[in-house]
Amino acid sequence: MKLSALLLTAIATSHITEIDWLVIAAYFGVLLCVAWWVVRKGKDSAADYFLAGRNLGWWIIGASIFASNIGSEHVVGLAGAGATSGVALAHYELHAWCLLVLGWVFVPFYMRSKVFTMPEFLERRFSTASRYVLSIVSIITFIVSKIAVGIFAGGVVFGTLLPELHLRIGSTDIDSFWIGSVLVIVLTGLYTALGGMRAVAYNDAVQTFVLILGSASLTVYGLVKLGGISELRYWCGSDMFNLWKPLIPAGVQGTWSPVIETNGAGQIVRQAWYFNGNYPWLGMLFCAPIIGLWYWCTDQYIVQRALGAPNETVARRGSIFAAFLKLAPVYLFIVPGMVCFALAKSGKIPELASILGPNGHAIPAAAQGAFPLLVEYLLPPGLRGLVVAGLLSALMGSLAGVFNACSTLFTVDLYQKWKPAASQHQLVRTGRLATGIMVLIALAWIPVIKNAHGLYDYLQAVQGYLAPPIFVVFFFGVFFKRLNAQGALWAMIVGFVLGIFRMLVDTPVTLGLAGFQDGYPQGSFLWIVNNTYFQYFSVLITLVSILVMVGVSYMTSEPDYLRIQNLTFATTTQEDKDATRAGWDWREIAGSTLVLACIIGSYAYFSG
């Protein structure tokens, strides 16, 4: 059967109506027009392709930072975490203050240095070796977390909204999950290769409005259907409304919950154990800020938007605007997940009962479909189509941003180093080829994530293992001029070895490979490593990286302070300090204060 006929059959058997599909088509038509307009404005140069010609406005920068962060994998993952853990992951969203650190602390250093990438900045502060190490590790991080998780989220959306979509090739039956993943990756890869950073940024600005509007409507409709906040508190319980979880995660105490998957004939096809999502307050207090500061202040994926600004002032205002937008996901994505759980438990929408296990708790694997399930069974025609369009657009937009950042790292930090005489056209062509290669590699990681204990859990764990050494070298490097290239290099090497070792230990258990279905022998060294909560292991990597960086730096010679002028606070000239302060505005100070007040208010509300 042809794919078009299969798609029509799937549409006819789903809750997506003809009106919804018209809205989806119209929405993507608008995006296509925007993309075409942006592509025609582009130039065949590295600065235009990778940084949009350094001519983005503050509102485009802020919207693009937000949309790049809140892709469909974020929506799907946060809603799933909300259904299983309540507001525990709101800690990560309330770290909007990290964007203020980007705008007020790091933007001046990045803009003065006129770098394309974060590894390039690290080379100027430390050494070429540091640049190579960070470039390679960053690319690996993009592949095993952002790209692969984004593709998986697209599969979840298609699998939930169009479950009847199947394609048979020979004796192989391909379900809607894989069809959706492939469609998303092909379309996004093409879009990114043609448009570059400018197309990504303008698309992000459009999708931000649609995503916020659609998600807000989902929250409102869900609370109305449920009966209000009081009903949500009743069905979820006070613990799901509390940010601060017990010190020792339930999994460490040995109370993991079983889940058994069966086929249509009732035969068991997989037995596994899932973690109940109890995020401990100590891990959130220390580990979450480390990941947040790394992500918002030093990750190429995010900072590349600020680098597209014409000056410090525009970049700082864009960061503050993004901080405002970043406060929304708690109420737009986590709360809908909780609403889905409450509606399932109350029986007000019987179709949602599939996310519940026999013990009454949400099953993480099933809860990953909480957001698209609500869209399918709660929203009226038309609005449902708009939200689905925004969901798919967010997925494509965030993936496009990752592809562009990944190709920038490969082209600027690796290819241009190997081929210093490469023309602007060759750099752009290499960036496009790099996008295609990264896509193919990422596809191989989908089975890993599909069998992970939870989409957002997986993403946070990978970041928790790889982020600490990057956080250490950037923050300590900017604040302490005495730390040198040898200290930074060894801190990254040791930190990354520890993080990759933990990933290698976890992967066989996560995949349920032969001999690892029950994990490692209890009490063994590998069992201890595998069962140490990922946030605590992340803090351990951070402490080791700090000790290595400081120790090696003081055992070796001081850096050349003239060479690192304007790359640390202590070596910044008075003239540059004055120029930065001259760009400050009372509105930026007031906006930053308001962001902090909103964060404090949210912590107060969700700490009772």
Residue linked to tokens 């889905």: 340
Range of weakest confidence among 298-307, 312-321, 478-487: 298-307
| Domain membership flag for residue 6 | no
Q: How far apart are CA 525 and CA 531, in angstroms?
A: 10
What band does 180 get if pLDDT is binned at 50, 70 and 90?
low
| Domain membership flag for residue 24 | yes
| Domain membership flag for residue 125 | yes
pLDDT score of 80: 81
Q: How far apart are CA 473 and CA 142, in angstroms?
A: 19
Domain CATH code at residue 193: 1.20.1730.10
Mean pLDDT over all residues of the chain?
78
Kindly report, residue by residue over 15-59, the tens digit of the pLDDT.
Answer: 677 888 888 788 778 777 776 776 666 555 566 666 656 778 888
| Domain membership flag for residue 9 | no
| Domain membership flag for residue 2 | no
What band does 446 get if pLDDT is binned at 50, 70 and 90?
low
| Domain membership flag for residue 3 | no
Tell me how far apart the terminal alpha carbons of the chain are, to the nearest angstrom. 56
| Domain membership flag for residue 4 | no
pTM over 0.85: no
Q: Does position 373 have pLDDT exceeding 60, yes or no? A: yes
Nearest to 22 by CA among 385, 420, 306, 397: 385
Range of weakest confidence among 203-217, 252-266, 488-502: 252-266
Q: Which domain holds residue 236?
A: 18-162+173-605
Q: How far apart are CA 500 and CA 488, in angstroms?
A: 18
Kindly report, residue by residue over 581-598, the tens digit of the pLDDT.
Answer: 888 888 999 999 999 999
163: enclosing H helix or E strand: none
Buried b (16+ CB within 10 A) or exposed e, 195-221: bbbbbbbbbbbbbbebbbebbebbbeb
Residue 160, C-beta contacts closer than 8 angstroms, at least 6 positions apart: 369, 372, 373, 376
pLDDT score of 526: 87
Q: What is the count of structural domains for the chain?
A: 1
| Domain membership flag for residue 185 | yes
Q: Does position 451 have pLDDT exceeding 70, yes or no? A: no
Name the residue type at position 267: Q
Q: Does position 491 have pLDDT exceeding 90, yes or no? A: yes
Q: How far apart are CA 253 and CA 241, in angstroms?
A: 22
